[in-house]
Amino acid sequence: MSQDVVRVVLLGKCARGTSHLLWHLGQRGCHCSFAASAEEAVAIFHQCEVHLILSTSPVHQATKIVSLLGRFNCSVFYAYPVEQGCWWLPLMNGGQKCFGAPALRPSEFGDVLDQKLKEIRADHFTAPKRLQEAAYDNARTLKVAS
């Protein structure tokens, strides 16, 4: 798997009911893993860097993952069930807790998710490449000057 892939963990009892979300993330080049508990999600963190967690499990699992991941630069959203759908609640943004942030309707969440994926790519993949290119250019300039 490429190093430039956004890694997402879907936290929930099973993958059922997340097909639209999986399709959306797959279309954007994300690699998705499943975890049935906060502990399983943390185990995935120890195997590879995870950028985003989307939780459909009960809220105590979602808030538990936030407390376990306090030092990681990760974003966490929780799907709070309502009548025939859900509200997406941001719980963590780039490693910072954001309890109390406004809830998102499913129609809003798609746009917010796309923006979050762009931010992750810019923060984790684009900036290091720019730094490498700048270092290469500086090295070439020093070599030419000497």
Looking at residues 16-29, what average pLDDT do you find? 84
Q: Which of 8-12, 55-59, 93-97, 113-117 has the lowest mean pLDDT?
A: 55-59
Name the DSSP class of 52.
Answer: E
CA distances from 86 to 10, 48, 61, 97, 106 (A): 15, 29, 17, 21, 7
Mean pLDDT over 35-61 rounds to 83
Residue 1 has pLDDT above 50, yes or no: no
Between CA 83 and CA 64 the distance in angstroms is: 25
* Residue 144 in this model has a pLDDT that exceeds 60: no
- Give per-residue pLDDT as tens, 64-103: 777 776 667 889 898 988 888 889 999 888 888 888 899 9
Residue 20 exposed, middle or buried by CB count within 10 Å (0-12, 13-18, 19+): exposed
| Neighbouring C-alpha atoms within 13 Å toward the C-beta of 55 | 24
Averaged over 4-19, what is the pLDDT? 80
Contact 6, 52 (CB under 8 A): yes
- How does pLDDT run across 99-139, given as a tens digit for each residue? 889 999 988 999 999 999 999 998 877 755 555 555 545 44
What is the model's pLDDT at position 12?
84
pLDDT in the model for residue 143: 47
- Matching residue, tokens 């992750």: 120
Domain extent, residue 68, equals: 7-145
pLDDT value, residue 113: 95
* pTM of the predicted model as reported, rounded to 2 decimal places: 0.79
Tokens encoding 110: 């798609």
1 assigned to some structural domain: no
Assigned domain for 2 exists = no
Q: What is the count of structural domains for the chain?
A: 1
Q: What is the CATH number of the domain that holds 85?
A: 3.40.50.2300
